[in-house]
Amino acid sequence: MPETAPRIIVSGYVQGVCFRYFVYREAVSLGLTGYTQNLPTGQVEVIACGEQGLVNELIDILRVGPRYASVSDVSAEPIELKEKFRNFNIR
């Protein structure tokens, strides 16, 4: 399967509720590479690299989020990567 690498933006009450750690755990369990980070806008950014089906699975998981989060929107757009990721990190 070809790999994909979208930039995913998660909106809602997603900072201060361990959302990045949730993303990290789920992405690693799916075997994806990339990173997650908080944005100054209050959103969380996720760059997820891997097989399309696995990335789609992560996006579905992000729509629900962890227990204390409240996700209002998840958007994904393909990007051209400037670097190759070896693992998944929290920034």
Residues 27-85 pLDDT 10s = 999 999 999 999 999 999 999 999 999 999 999 999 999 999 999 999 999 998 888 89
Only one residue has tokens 């998840």, namely 74
* Residue 15 near residue 42, CB atoms below 8 Å: yes
Q: What is the CATH number of domain 3-85?
A: 3.30.70.100
Catalytic residues: 20, 38
Beta-bridge partner residues of 25: none
- Higher-confidence residue of 4 and 2: namely 4
